[in-house]
Amino acid sequence: MIFITAEGWEQRLPPGEKMQICSFLWVYFGYPASDYEGMNVEHVRNNCGACLAGKDDVTCDCVGGIPDSGVGHAIGYADAKKVPYRRPFVKYTPT
**What would the pLDDT profile of 39-60 be if each residue is shown by its tens digit?**
999 999 999 999 999 999 999 9
Ordered by start, the domain boundaries in the chain are 2-81
Write down the pLDDT at residue 12: 81
| Higher-scoring residue by pLDDT: 91, 30 | 30
Average pLDDT over residues 66-80: 94
- CB-based contacts of 58, cutoff 8 Å, min separation 6: 81
Alpha-carbon gap, residue 85 to 62, rounded angstroms: 6
pTM of the model: 0.74
Please name the amino acid found at residue 23. Answer: S
Q: How many residues does the chain have?
A: 95
Separation of alpha carbons 45 and 69, rounded Å: 9
